[in-house]
């Protein structure tokens, strides 16, 4: 599905996401099949590989409706209670206009400007700089913002962050991400269940069979004496296949979540710029939030929903969000924004001691934070990042370079 603009990119992304979710749901049955292989080995440890594969296929067909019911029940529970689970982890609380007039008015103005239903507004007490949206339907949609974000960002930057989260809601990203987290949780649950089942088994090297780790040595020795001396090679191969399927299913579930999340963050940034018409505010917000969004005690599932996730994983392989540099680069290239570079916050520079030599002391935040880049027809788009606002050139007829100066067009 070819994409040529913002809205076609959104439609194409939704189509690919639905395919990925379907594949994620199929991983549940892969895990059930792996569990059936382990069960057949436990029941009969002297059969051939082909026998185990055929028997596990029959077991899969028998367990298919039960696995579907369990997965559907898991999704239904998460559908109604996922917000309560998130609030229990993050400590987010509903706020009203009277409690947070500044934040409430910024969110309401964005919703009114695009005819978007007003989601619930939540604030969590945390010094981290982050925000996230959640919900599976119009009545459940919510936007949660940290107190650290409110204290650090100005109104335009907060508006950009809120526009980012509203775009996730408009594009249907929130529903897909929540469902992906739920299904990935089912995959992880089944995977851990079967892995624990395997770790409770032990191989009887003398008899060539599998027994439960909780079995007594006397029963194990008696079964060894009654078993055939040959056989068991097929059981070892099948157990290896089952373990490989469990590991593969878990890895694929993580890769699917990454594909859903990474591709949507750039579109959400673009949607925020479309709402606010202010790419510089989004860039400034990204630079201030960069590496300051870690929510203590939050699970990886919650961090995947956030505006920024500083948890990069092993060699950036399991990072759920694009890097801030790549997001800023896209805004500069496609939205005409200006990158100010990494920013130091005031609380990070206030710890400079007075007895340090002035030439060795770190510059104060007022020196590091450049003035806002001007907007409008008189701004210089080619000015370097951090340069002061350009002063309108004066000509023989005044600053507007025309024969009529002054606000009313009178000659000077």
- Which of 11-15, 253-257, 321-325 has the lowest average pLDDT? 11-15
pLDDT at 317 over 50: yes
Q: In the structure encoding, which two tokens stand for residue 60, read together?
A: 């899969």
User: Is the separation of the CB atoms in 3 and 9 below 8 Å?
Assistant: yes
pLDDT at 120 over 90: yes
Q: In the structure encoding, which two tokens stand for residue 181, read together?
A: 């987290």
Average pLDDT, stretch 292-311?
84
Q: What is the pLDDT of residues 47-59, one digit of tens each?
A: 888 898 999 999 9
* Burial per residue of 155-181, b for 16 or more beta-carbon CB atoms within 10 angstroms, e otherwise: ebbbbbbbbbbbbbbbbebbbbbbbbb
Mapped onto helix, strand or coil, the DSSP state of residue 204 is strand
The neighbour count for residue 395, using CB atoms within 10 Å, is 12
Q: What is the pLDDT of residues 13-44, one digit of tens each?
A: 667 667 766 777 788 888 888 888 888 888 88
Q: What is the pLDDT of residues 225-234, one digit of tens each?
A: 444 434 456 7
pLDDT confidence tier of residue 118, bands split at 50, 70 and 90: very high
Q: In this structure, what DSSP letter does residue 93 have?
A: E
pLDDT at 260 over 60: yes
Q: What is the pLDDT of residues 232-254, one digit of tens each?
A: 567 888 888 888 888 888 888 77
User: Is the separation of the CB atoms in 309 and 321 below 8 Å?
Assistant: yes
pLDDT confidence tier of residue 259, bands split at 50, 70 and 90: low
Q: Which residues are catalytic?
A: 165
pLDDT at 396 over 90: no
* DSSP labels, 121-181: EEEE--SS--EEEE-SSTTT-EEEEEHHHHHHS-HHHHHHHHHHHHHHHHTTHHHHHHHHH
pLDDT confidence tier of residue 388, bands split at 50, 70 and 90: low
Q: In the structure encoding, which two tokens stand for residue 244, read together?
A: 């490989």
pLDDT at 160: 96
Mapped onto helix, strand or coil, the DSSP state of residue 28 is helix
Which domains does the chain carry? 6-88+174-213+228-267 (no CATH), 90-173+278-335 (3.30.2010.10)
Q: In this structure, what DSSP letter does residue 211 have?
A: E
pLDDT at 130 over 90: yes
User: Is the separation of the CB atoms in 375 and 382 below 8 Å?
Assistant: no
pTM of the model as a whole: 0.66
pLDDT at 312: 63
Q: What is the pLDDT of residues 337-361, one digit of tens each?
A: 888 788 877 666 555 444 445 444 4
């Amino acid at each position: 599905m070819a994409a040529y603009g913002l809205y076609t990119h959104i439609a194409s992304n939704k189509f690919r996401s639905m395919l990925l979710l379907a594949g994620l749901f199929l991983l549940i049955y892969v895990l059930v099949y792996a569990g059936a292989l382990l069960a057949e080995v436990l029941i009969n440890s002297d059969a051939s590989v082909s026998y185990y594969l055929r028997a596990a296929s029959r077991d899969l067909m028998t367990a298919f409706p039960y696995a579907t019911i369990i997965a559907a029940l898991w999704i239904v529970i998460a559908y109604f209670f996922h917000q309560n689970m998130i609030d229990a982890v993050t400590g987010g609380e509903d706020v009203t206009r009277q409690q947070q007039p500044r934040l409430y008015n910024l969110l309401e103005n964005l919703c009114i400007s695009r005819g978007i239903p007003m989601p619930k507004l939540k604030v969590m007490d945390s010094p981290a700089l982050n925000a996230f949206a959640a919900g599976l339907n119009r009545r459940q949609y919510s936007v949660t913002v940290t107190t650290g974000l409110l204290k650090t960002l100005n109104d335009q930057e907060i508006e950009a962050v809120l526009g980012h989260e509203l775009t996730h809601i408009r594009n249907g990203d929130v529903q897909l991400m929540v469902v992906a987290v739920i299904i990935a949780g089912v995959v992880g649950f089944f995977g851990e269940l079967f892995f624990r089942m395997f770790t409770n088994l032990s191989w009887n090297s003398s008899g060539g069979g599998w027994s439960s780790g909780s079995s007594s040595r006397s029963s194990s020795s008696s079964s060894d004496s009654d078993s055939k001396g040959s056989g068991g090679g097929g059981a070892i191969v099948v157990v290896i296949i089952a373990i490989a399927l469990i590991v593969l299913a878990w890895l694929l579930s993580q890769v699917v979540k990454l594909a859903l999340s990474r591709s949507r963050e750039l579109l959400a940034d673009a949607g925020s710029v479309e709402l606010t018409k202010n790419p510089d505010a989004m860039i400034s917000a990204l630079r201030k939030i960069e590496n300051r969004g870690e929510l203590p005690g939050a699970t990886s599932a919650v961090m995947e929903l956030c505006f920024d996730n500083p948890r990069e994983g092993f060699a950036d392989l399991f990072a759920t969000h694009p890097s801030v540099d790549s997001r800023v680069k896209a805004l500069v290239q496609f939205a005409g924004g200006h990158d100010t570079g990494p920013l130091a916050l005031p609380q990070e520079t206030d710890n400079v001691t007075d007895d340090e030599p002035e030439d060795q002391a770190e510059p104060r935040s007022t020196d590091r934070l450049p003035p806002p880049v001007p907007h409008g027809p008189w701004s210089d788009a080619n000015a370097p990042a951090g340069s002061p606002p350009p002063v309108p050139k004066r000509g023989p007829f005044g600053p507007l370079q025309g024969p009529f100066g002054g606000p009313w067009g009178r000659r000077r």
